[in-house]
Each structure stands twice: as structure tokens, then as C-alpha cells.
């Protein structure tokens, strides 16, 4: 194990108070798994699975990004074209191919094993995100070992594992969980190179392990989300170079061989897509997607600076209260090598994200491991602030209480059912949250954190495992697809008017026509076993066109739901043709 280089000079720890300490069993578990790396890794993997699996298999496709990624992958599998990226007939050149390949491997493997209807099982497309989230937790543990003890590294992994934001991304078929894994792996290798230079270790024969991990992770990040991973690395390196007035340690990364290795990994697909589409991919991904986010709120996602700071107290729960308590001690240690590196990873990139106009909660996720390690470094030395920020411990109870009320009341309002299965998990989450709040002081902060992580686990089981799957009105595409699967004709085809969500295409088939009311009527007139999915606002145009062309049709079924992407209730009628007069 690498000895800790992050040693805040906070003075000698005070003796703990003699009080009853509920939750001792959780600390005993940590004592047990701290014995070896194998136990620590197994514990973190098991905890991650318990955190991320509730709802993983039975939450329907989430509009709109997840469904777009999944549908593009589905078309790759259907066509056998693993170079081009398309959503139906439109090119989808916002992100490189990495996540699509990972999803395609998962789907193809499931199909080869005989899993029925594998291509429309959304959880298969989420497997890379699940693996990326688990990998990020383990990479955080590995990275933290360069700064803190093994016990502190386990706590850092738990802080990231229990966070609300990672729990969400682990269940979505998108790039962000896997990107987090690559960023943490790269930053962990970079940290070891930097700290070895700070310790004055002989650079004559630097190890190859760290450069290989670094450059391979960089290549993976590029294939997942383009040059974004370079931002985290370059801002960190630039900040350290300014503070240390030297960047000589970068030669220990073997940059010449590393860049060659990176190009070997990423160039084949970039050459292939350039050969296929010319400069369209680069214009769409860099100019149309990345650069446009700097100057405008893309897809109505604009927000003012400071938004991420406000969201942090929710998205990094249950670690957020400890971040506030640890901030003064971290700042006092800012010029020590370990803390300096972690702050260089965190602060410059955070400022950039706050200044960018387009803001989505997951953008700052690659910075959360640095916060987790900083907290762990302060936590294990019992030097958390005893100022008014200690009152932030109430968040360990307030967040599950508020989230539970919102989730359960929302479920009852939408489904008209009490969602009984959620209540035991909610109650246990509240109990652990209350213990975390009650136990907190400087000497039992670790125990409070463990109770808070347990509260996060049970809260996730309630919301993701019970409440969200029960909210069927929020997923009309699933109900529409289920209705079409129950028809008696062979090979049903569909056209949608008014309701054009990507999840509908994923669930009902790539050939689903997205049109208007008139187009849906024309579609029905061209053959049998055809269905028009007409949202209520398009029914008048559909009826007028059907009358004009003499189309006879009947109402097969009506789906009532709520389109949360647009924030409005919808009613979709499924019409079937009876022929023309």
C-alpha cells in the first residue's frame, strides 16, 4: 500500500466522549474488510451491487438521452454496421462510438445465449453503466490509497458509491458512469506519478504500470465522450505546474510512447467515421454539441453560475454534509502535496462547469471522487469542523425524509395506489438517517457516515426498486408497446403522431414512423396490420384526413399517461385500419 502523502497538520486528536454508540456493527464490518485489499474490493463490489441493482431491471426506458443511446445501439446490432451512429435515418454524431460498442457487445452476448427479445430489454443496454459505476467505486478506492490509509480509501469508495448522482447514472444507458471510471483511473495513475516526484523518488527507471493505466484510460475516455477527459487532466496539470513552478514530473508518464498508444486505440474508428461521413461527425460533435454548450443553454438546460454548488448538497448526499464539515481543514492543508493534487483536480474544472451556460447535474460527476478522497483524508484524522456546519448532519435525516415523502406521495397521486412495498424500506432509511444525525460528532463521524450510507441503500431500494417501476403513467411507451405485442396479426407496423419520444421507437421498432395526424392516416391506408398511435392533440387532423381519403378505422386502445420530458399529460389513441371505401 502506498503511504499517505496527504497528512493535514490539524493537531492531535481529542479523546472521544463516553457515550452510547448505536451502529457499532457497521464499524465492525469496516474493521473486518480493512484487513486486506481482497476483502475491501469484495465489500465495495457487494455494496455497489446492493446500491445499484434495485430498479435496474424493471425501470422502463427513460426519455430522452437513455432511449436515444439504446436505440442507436439497437440499430447497430440490427444492421451490423458498427461504425455509423444513427437514430432511425438521422445521424447521431454528438458522441463517439465507445458506449455504443459496449452496449452492442452486451446485447449480442445476451442474444447468443438465447435470451428472448434481448434487443428491447433496456437493462442490457444499462450493463456498461453498471460496470462503469462499480469500476469507478473501485478506481476511487485505488486512487485514494495514494493519499490515505486503506480504511480511508474504503470510506472514499463508500462516499462515491452511496451518492445520489452515481446511483442514478448507474441505472441509465448513457456514457457518464463509464466516463467516470476512465477519468478516475487516469487521475489515479496521474496522482501516483505526481506524488512519486514530490517524494523525490528516483526517476531513472519509472514504472510502466502507471503510464499504461493513464494512457489506456485516456483513450477510453476519448472513445466515450471525445476530448472532455483532456480537460480534467490538463486543468489539473496546469494548476500544479503553476503552483510548483515545474511540470518535469510529466516525463514519468512516458508521453511519447503514451500518445502513440492512445492513437493506436482511438484512430481506427475516427478514421473509419471520417471515411464514412467526412467531417460531419467532427462538426456535429465538437461544434454542434460541445462548443454550443459554452455559449447557450442547449435543449433548455441553461442555468446560472452556482447551480452545481446548490445541486451538490443533494446529488452528493450522503457525503455532502461531511464535505461542508471538512472544508476548513482541507483548505488549511491546501499546499500539502496530496491535498494540492486533489484540489487541482476539483476546483479548476468545477469553475469551468459553473461558467458553461448548459448545465446538467451529471457534468460534475468526474469531480466527486476527488471530494470523496478529501473528505476521507480529513475524516480519518478526526479534524472536521465543529462550527455551525456541524448542523449539516441533519441532512442525513432530512434528505431521506423529504425524498420519501415526495416519492410516495407522487406515486399515490399518479397510480392511485399506496405502494405498500415502499414503506418498509422508507422506514429503515429514516431510522438509519436518524442514527447518522444523532451519532454525529467529531469522533463518531465515521459511524454516522456508515449509517448514512445504509440509509442511502434503503432509500434507493424504495425509490428505484419499488416506486419508479410502479409509476406506469410516466412510461406510456412501454404500455403502447405492450398493447402492440398483444395484437393477433403478424408483423405489426406503427406510425406515431404527436407523441415522438425516443423510447417509443426503441420499444415499438426502428421502423416506427414519426409523423403528424394526416401522415398517420395515410400510413394506415397503405396496408393491413398497421396501427396509428395518435396523441389527442393530433386526433382532429387524423380524423379529417381519414375522412378525406375514405379510411375506415377503429379505436384499438387508448393509453393515458404523462410525458415528463415535456411536463404534460398525454392521451394516445391506438387506431387500426379496417380498409378504405
- pLDDT of 394-432, one tens digit each? 888 888 889 888 888 888 877 777 777 888 999 999 999
- List, as one string, the DSSP characters of 371-433: HHHHHHHHHTTT----SGGGGGGGHHHHHHHHHHHHHHHHHHHHHSS--TTHHHHHHHHHHHH
Predicted pLDDT of residue 418: 72
Predicted pLDDT of residue 67: 96
Cα four-point dihedral sign 123, 128, 132, 138: positive
Class of residue 39 by CB neighbours under 10 A (exposed 0-12, middle 13-18, buried 19+): middle
pLDDT tens by residue, 209-264: 999 999 999 999 999 999 999 999 999 999 999 999 999 999 999 999 999 999 99
Class of residue 441 by CB neighbours under 10 A (exposed 0-12, middle 13-18, buried 19+): middle
More confident residue, 558 or 381: 558
Cβ atoms of 459 and 426 within 8 Å: the answer is: yes
For range 142-154, the mean pLDDT = 96
Domain ranges of the chain: 24-379, 389-471, 475-580
Task: Give the 3-state secondary structure of 436-451.
Answer: HHHHCCCCCHHHHHHH
Calculated CA dihedral for residues 323, 326, 332, 333, nearest 10 degrees = -80
Cβ atoms of 364 and 355 within 8 Å: the answer is: no
Confidence bin at 287 (pLDDT 50/70/90): low
What's the mean per-residue pLDDT of the chain? 89
3-state DSSP assignment of residue 301? coil
Tell me how far the alpha carbon of residue 581 is from its chain's centroid. 53
Predicted pLDDT of residue 300: 53
What is the spatial order of strands in the sheet that 513-515 belongs to? 513-515, 493-497, 530-535, 568-580, 551-563
Predicted pLDDT of residue 386: 63
Q: Name residue, grid cell 399518479.
A: 414
Share of the chain above pLDDT 90, in %: 69
Whether the model pTM is above 0.85: yes
3-state DSSP assignment of residue 153? helix
The H or E element containing residue 335 is: none
Q: Tell me how far CA of residue 551 lies from CA of 198, 522, 523, 538, in angstroms.
A: 79, 9, 10, 16
Predicted pLDDT of residue 282: 78
pLDDT(17) > 50: no
Amino acid at each position: 500500500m502506498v503511504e499517505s502523502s496527504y497528512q493535514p497538520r490539524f493537531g492531535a486528536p481529542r479523546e472521544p466522549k463516553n457515550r452510547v454508540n448505536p451502529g457499532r456493527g457497521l464499524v465492525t464490518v469496516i474493521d473486518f474488510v480493512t484487513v486486506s485489499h481482497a476483502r475491501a474490493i469484495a465489500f465495495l463490489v457487494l455494496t455497489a451491487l446492493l446500491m445499484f441493482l434495485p430498479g435496474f431491471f424493471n425501470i422502463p426506458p427513460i426519455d430522452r438521452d437513455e432511449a436515444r443511446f439504446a436505440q442507436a445501439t439497437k440499430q447497430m446490432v440490427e444492421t451490423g454496421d458498427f461504425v455509423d451512429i444513427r437514430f432511425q435515418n438521422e445521424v447521431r454524431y454528438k458522441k463517439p462510438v465507445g458506449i455504443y460498442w459496449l452496449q452492442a457487445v452486451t446485447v449480442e452476448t445476451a442474444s447468443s445465449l438465447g435470451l428472448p427479445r434481448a434487443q428491447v430489454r433496456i437493462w442490457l443496454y444499462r450493463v456498461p453503466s453498471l460496470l462503469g459505476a462499480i469500476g469507478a467505486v473501485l478506481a476511487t478506492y485505488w486512487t485514494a490509497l495514494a493519499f490515505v490509509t486503506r480504511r480511508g480509501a474504503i470510506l472514499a469508495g463508500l462516499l462515491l458509491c452511496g451518492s445520489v448522482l452515481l446511483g442514478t447514472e448507474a441505472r441509465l444507458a448513457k456514457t457518464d458512469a463509464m466516463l467516470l471510471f476512465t477519468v478516475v483511473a487516469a487521475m489515479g495513475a496521474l496522482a501516483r506519478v505526481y506524488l512519486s516526484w514530490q517524494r523525490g523518488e528516483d526517476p531513472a527507471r519509472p514504472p510502466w504500470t502507471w503510464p499504461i493505466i493513464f494512457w489506456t484510460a485516456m483513450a477510453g475516455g476519448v472513445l466515450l465522450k471525445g476530448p472532455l477527459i483532456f480537460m480534467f487532466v490538463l486543468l489539473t496539470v496546469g494548476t500544479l505546474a503553476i503552483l510548483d513552478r515545474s511540470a518535469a514530473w510529466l516525463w514519468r508518464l512516458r508521453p511519447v510512447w503514451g500518445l502513440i498508444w492512445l492513437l493506436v486505440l482511438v484512430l481506427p474508428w475516427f478514421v473509419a467515421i471520417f471515411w464514412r461521413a467526412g467531417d460531419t461527425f467532427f462538426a456535429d460533435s465538437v461544434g454542434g454539441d460541445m462548443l454550443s454548450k459554452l455559449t447557450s443553454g442547449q435543449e433548455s438546460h441553461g442555468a446560472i453560475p452556482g447551480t452545481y454548488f446548490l445541486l451538490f448538497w443533494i446529488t452528493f448526499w450522503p457525503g455532502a454534509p461531511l464535505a461542508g464539515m471538512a472544508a476548513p481543514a482541507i483548505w488549511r492543508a491546501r499546499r500539502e502535496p496530496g491535498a494540492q493534487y486533489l484540489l487541482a483536480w476539483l476546483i479548476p474544472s468545477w469553475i469551468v462547469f459553473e461558467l458553461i451556460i448548459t448545465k446538467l447535474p451529471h457534468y460534475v460527476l468526474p469531480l466527486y471522487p476527488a471530494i470523496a478522497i478529501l473528505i476521507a483524508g480529513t475524516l480519518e484524522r478526526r479534524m472536521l469542523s465543529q462550527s455551525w456546519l456541524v448542523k449539516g448532519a441533519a441532512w442525513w435525516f432530512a434528505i431521506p425524509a423529504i425524498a420519501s415523502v415526495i416519492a410516495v406521495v407522487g406515486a399515490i397521486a399518479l397510480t392511485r395506489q399506496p405502494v405498500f412495498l415502499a414503506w418498509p424500506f422508507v422506514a429503515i432509511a429514516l431510522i438509519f438517517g436518524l442514527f447518522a444525525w444523532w451519532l454525529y460528532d467529531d469522533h463518531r463521524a465515521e459511524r454516522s457516515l456508515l449509517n448514512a450510507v445504509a440509509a442511502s441503500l434503503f432509500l434507493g431500494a424504495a425509490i428505484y426498486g419499488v416506486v419508479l417501476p410502479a409509476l406506469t403513467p410516466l412510461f406510456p411507451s412501454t404500455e403502447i408497446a405492450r398493447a402492440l405485442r398483444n395484437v393477433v396479426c403478424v408483423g405489426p407496423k406503427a406510425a406515431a403522431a404527436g407523441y415522438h419520444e425516443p423510447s417509443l421507437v426503441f420499444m415499438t421498432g426502428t421502423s416506427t414512423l414519426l409523423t403528424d395526424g394526416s401522415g398517420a392516416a395515410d400510413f394506415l391506408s397503405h396496408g393491413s396490420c398497421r396501427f396509428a398511435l395518435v396523441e389527442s392533440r393530433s386526433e382532429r387532423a387524423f380524423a379529417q384526413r381519414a375522412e378525406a381519403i375514405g379510411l375506415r378505422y377503429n379505436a384499438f386502445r387508448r393509453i393515458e399517461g404523462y410525458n415528463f420530458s415535456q411536463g404534460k399529460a398525454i392521451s394516445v389513441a391506438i387506431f387500426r385500419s379496417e380498409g378504405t371505401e
